Structure 1
Amino acid sequence: MTQSASVVCDQGPEGFRSEVREWCRVHVPNDWRTAQTGASAETFVAFQKDWFATLARAGYAVPHWPKEWGGGMSVADQVVLYQELAAHDAPRLVLPFVSIHHAASTLLAAGTDEQRSRHLPAILDGEIWCQGFSEPGAGSDMAALSTSARRVGDHYLVNGQKLWASGALHADWCLLLARTDPEAPKRQGISYFLLDMAAPGIDVRPIRQATGESHFCEIFLNDVEIPATQLVGPENEGWRVAQETLGAERGMTMLELAERLGHGGFPWLVDLCRHPGPDGTRPLDDSRVADRLAALETEITGLRLLCAEFVADHSGPADASIVKLYYSELLQRVMDLGAEIGGLDAQTQLRKPLSSGWESGTWVLDFIGSWEWTIPGGTSEIQRTIIGERGLGLPREPKGI
């Protein structure tokens, strides 16, 4: 296991800020954007694993984890860390994203001691995870999934297909939902598994996107055996366990993404508006553009404060959905303006740095990618339903006849 540095800071947020700034000055690679633009899959994977190891050695890879597993950083220090990583244009942890957020939150909330001891140290050593939730007929309505898992002695026999599995081609393990009781109401007959991606019977096929990337994959499962020890939580209660996974996507990860948007994406947008367009005028001198920038800056400030408050005190039943919805639709508005201001030049940028996030400065590709955020992990419509029903106490939507 990689021995990470202690993340307990006794010098206060500003002292810690100075520490992180110096670390970034020394360790953030200056040429990573050029090197990662158009890079091969092998180069991307190697770079991501090396960058993750660099962060782990400093104690910066999993600050949100409990102290006993290599985290324990205060919320105030986490905000400082993500602010400085964004301000220094550090690469994002794209490949380990599911590992350090979704897999870890699931294991910590619902895993056994043996499962946590096996996988959390392995994740810190570079174990990569993907997520096998969505299916061709079960996207936002994941409870409609049909992948089956049948108990046979000390293991389950799994058959089915998963879709939109980010990074599955490079994953060692998968968070898998499968139906174990086909007769039960659909949310009550699902179980949650840890799937070894090296098991026989698994076929992973990359999906080529319109942008030329193949970030997503299909996973085909043909009589795949999963030991019963890799069941997370009780059988048929996978839906409840899955809420821990989705809670990480809708909440904890937002802190970093909000700081990236505030310290990376938005300043680049302002800088873009300062440069003269084809007609020689600066977009920033147009009062309508200035008003839109001011509105976006206000919204981003609100998002950052909301995320910090959410991480410090996650108490409301709809808080995670509020944060996810707010970020998703704000990201679209920021990238929409960037694509508009970027004009024809932005249309010619066909590749973005593979280790960047949704705010890479490649405006048209970022705008296209921003729409992803309003779909996975629960669409914006679903988030509004959760906010209305669980947060505001409104009546549940009637079921269709």
Structure 2
Amino acid sequence: MTDALETLRQDVRRWLAAHAPQGWREYCTSNEAFLDLQRRWFATLAGGGYAVPHWPAEWPGGGRSLAEQKVIYEEFARADTPRLLLSFMSTYHAASTLFEWGSAAQQQRYIPRILEGEIWCQGFSEPNAGSDLASLKTRAERQGDVYIVNGQKLWSTMGQFADKCLLLVRTSNEGAKQAGLTYLLLDLKARGVTARPIHQIHGDEEFAELFLDNVEIPVEDRLGAEGQGWAVAQSTLSSERGLTLLELSARMRGALWRIADLIRAGGRENDPGILRDFGRLATKIDATCAIADQFLANRIAGEERVGDASIVKLSYSRTLREFTLLGLRLGGMDAQYHEPITFGGGMETGNWMADFMNSYAWTIAGGSDEVQRNIIAERLLNMPREPKSWTLAGDAA
């Protein structure tokens, strides 16, 4: 920690003391309240220069080093500010992809709108194309200056609230599956687009499915060349994982007081079994934060390896499940009831049943635990690659 970083930390802390929203968890009990808070909070951050510290320096608040970004997000976590869930895809996935692949005209058209609050979502996964993304079926046929798109997208985060969509489509069936993909920018207000929210088990509607019926997308809204969509999509998917997990780990550490409160409320401060479980959890959370810190240090030093992010993701998802499970156990019968959720409240709200159910999403989202283990085994430990297919000896005979 340098003097400059410590000065930044104190500056951020003072700014948050004056501007962080109060009582937001109690306020966000409906989608309408969630949307209102998210839009107002993003505008406040943009005005203060803290909305997009990861953007280039020519943008307000941009040009921050990774070390500076780490300080900023740690202070947001410490102050328990709302996570920018509504604008997350916009400021990370959409912006990073446009910065890398967008033409000058596309950047001038779309980047300022993101900072003004335009919401983007991601249209990659489909009912039969999730972990095997290259097998997607949504079809785009070029007719003159437009593509005619037909298909369905699934698990589009905040898709029902979004204005624009990062859309991966198939323009060819020739050659390798990846070679036939093209990357388009979709206006969700276009004719033929239907967005339907997906109701989740704990009461939230974080995702949507998108139906595309003869939707016209101008060729000028293509990123990269036709057939280059797979390469563009890899840039999108690698845009944010490290810092996001660092922030989430810090938020989990900051929420340990909720577990401690349950122990005190139950008069179990001297229960050796409970103290053992609490100690193990606190140690695992500290280890997850240390792993995230080391990942960031490696990235800053230019020493990041393929698979390092998977270690952070796997550690966080497993520890989060243990955190919410211990809260659910300690909460007793009261914690078993399904209380109204805090929309956009994260995974450590103290609504233990909802938090516990929500924690399982993180063992899938962003790459399942099984996928992360494969990456770690194959790319870091140099173990044999998992076979693409296999046949039982009896079937082969």
Q: TM-score, normalised by structure 2?
A: 0.91
Query: AA paired with 1:162?
Result: K
Code of the aligned partner of 2:362: W
> C-alpha separation between the residues in 2 aligned to 1:353 and 1:137?
31
Whether the aligned pair in 1 keeps the contact of 2:201 and 2:357 (CA below 8 Å) is no
| Structure 1 contact 105–248 (Cα < 8 Å) conserved | yes
Q: 1:222 to 1:297 in 2, by over 3 A?
A: closer
Whether the 8 Å contact between 2:196 and 2:210 is mirrored in structure 1 is yes
Deviations 1:89-141 (A, max 9, x none): 11111111111111122222222222222222111100101111111111222
Q: Which amino acid aligns with 1:20?
A: V
Distance 1:383 1:68, change over 3 A: same
1:42 pairs with 2:32: yes
Q: How many residues align?
A: 386
Aligned 8 A contact 1:299 1:330 in 2: no
Q: Does 1:54 align with 2:41?
A: no
> Residue 78 of structure 1 aligns to a residue in which SS?
helix
Q: Distance in 2 between matches of 1:386 and 1:92?
A: 28
Per the TM alignment, residue 283 of structure 1 is displaced from its structure 2 partner at its CA by 7.2
How far apart are the structure 2 equivalents of 1:331 and 1:97?
21
Aligned to 1:282: 269
User: What one-letter code is carried by the residue in structure 2 that aligns with 1:383?
Assistant: Q
Q: Does 2:129 align with 1:142? A: no
Instruction: Tell me the distance in 1 between the aligned counterparts of 2:289 and 2:368.
Output: 24
- Conservation of the 8 A alpha-carbon contact between 1:149 and 1:180: yes
Distance (whole Å) between structure 2 residues aligned to residue 373 and residue 364 of structure 1: 15
Tell me what 2:290 maps to.
302
> Any idea what SS the aligned residue of 1:187 has?
helix
| Residue 19, structure 1, aligned to residue 8, structure 2 | no
Greater Cα shift, 201-210 or 111-120:
111-120
Give the 5 Å matches for 1:125-140: 125-140=116-131
Aligned counterparts, 1:197-276, within 5 A: 197-263=188-254, 265-273=255-263, 275-276=264-265
Quote the Cα distance in structure 2 between the aligned partners of 1:287 and 1:252.
31
Residue of structure 1 in register with 2:97 after alignment: 106
1:395 aligns with 2:378: no
- Identity across the alignment (%): 47
- Aligned residue for 2:315, secondary structure, equals helix
- The answer as to whether partners of 1:162 and 1:220 remain within 8 angstroms in 2 is yes
1:73-104: CA deviation from partner (whole Å, max 9, x where unpaired): 12222222122212211111111111111112
Greater shift, 144-153 or 252-261, is seen at 252-261
Cα root mean square deviation, aligned: 2.1
Classify 1:59/1:98 alpha carbon distance in 2 versus 1 (closer, same or farther; 3 Å).
same
Structure 2 gap segments, 5+ residues each: 391-397
Q: In the alignment, is the contact (CA less than 8 A) between 2:202 and 2:341 conserved in 1?
A: no
User: Structure 1 residues 227 and 310, CA, compared in 2 at 3 Å: closer, same or farther?
Assistant: farther
The answer for the alignment partner of 1:30 in structure 2 is: 22
Q: 2:285·2:319 contact (CA, 8 Å) conserved in 1?
A: no
Matched, 1:331 2:325: no
* In structure 1, distance between residues paired with 2:370 and 2:361: 14
In the alignment, the residues of structure 1 paired with residue 133 and residue 228 of structure 2 have an alpha-carbon distance, to the nearest angstrom, of 14
1:389 aligned counterpart, secondary structure: helix
Partner residue, 1:6? none
The structural deviation recorded for 1:310 is 5.0
Q: State how far apart, in whole Å, the 1-side matches of 2:366 and 2:282 are.
A: 30
**Alpha-carbon contact 1:258-1:307 (below 8 Å) kept:** no
1:90 lines up with 2:78 in the alignment: no
